[in-house]
Amino acid sequence: MAPNNTSNSPNPKRDQSNNKKEVNQQTEKWNVKTEWITNGMDKEADKFCEKFGEHLATREKLSTSQLRNFYGELKRIQLNGVEKNKQNIQLLRPKLAYNAARKTNEGNSNAGKTFYNALKNIFRQVNLTEEKNFINFVSLIEAILAYHKYYGGK
């Protein structure tokens, strides 16, 4: 008997395709602007951080520990000096990507990927090894974390 290929049959490739479309749509919506890192935060950046923090807490259910782990790594780099930690700064993006994929593969939501995708252009377009840019980046993440907690992030 031939396998049943109805639309009710599970299709992992279709599910992956739908997940990628969903993540791409979210990426467009949650786009961190490079000028918030190069010039510092403004009212628009604060509004973005609030909406994004709320989204991560209420819709994506991103855990506070995931955000705090990333923020903690940023603060360690800042405390030890940006100049001494250029290698660690370069590893931030791959570490964030790994954690996002790991959480998604464990059955959690796409929350980690949403966070990663919102930040990945910053890693590509802004030199975070410049101290001013790194400090502004830390401030942006701190604001997202604060709003995430305010809106009930657990």
Residue 88's domain comprises 35-150
Q: What is the mean pLDDT of the chain?
A: 84
In a domain, 48, yes or no: yes
In a domain, 130, yes or no: yes
* Angle of CA points 44, 85, 45, to nearest 5°: 5
In a domain, 14, yes or no: no
In a domain, 4, yes or no: no
**DSSP string covering 109-134, please?**
-SHHHHHHHHHHHHHHHS-TTSHHHH
pTM (2 d.p.) = 0.80
CB atoms within 10 A of CB 134: 22
Please determine, for residue 5, whether its predicted confidence score (pLDDT) is greater than 50: no
| CB-count burial class (<10 Å; 0-12, 13-18, 19+) for 67 | buried
Please determine, for residue 18, whether its predicted confidence score (pLDDT) is greater than 70: no
In a domain, 114, yes or no: yes
Q: Is 42 left (phi over 0), alpha (psi -120 to 50) or beta?
A: beta
138 vs 77: CA distance, rounded Å: 10
pLDDT, position 23: 45
Domain count, the chain: 1
Q: Hunting for tokens 């010039």 — which residue is that?
A: 39
pLDDT, position 74: 97
Contact 62, 118 (CB under 8 A): no
| pLDDT grade for 96, boundaries at 50, 70 and 90 | very high
In a domain, 3, yes or no: no
In a domain, 144, yes or no: yes
Q: Find the range with the poorest average confidence among 15-29, 87-101, 104-118.
A: 15-29
In a domain, 122, yes or no: yes
For residues 60 and 16, the model is more confident at 60
Contacts of 99 (CB under 8 A, 6+ apart): 66, 69, 70, 112, 116
For residues 109 and 141, the model is more confident at 141
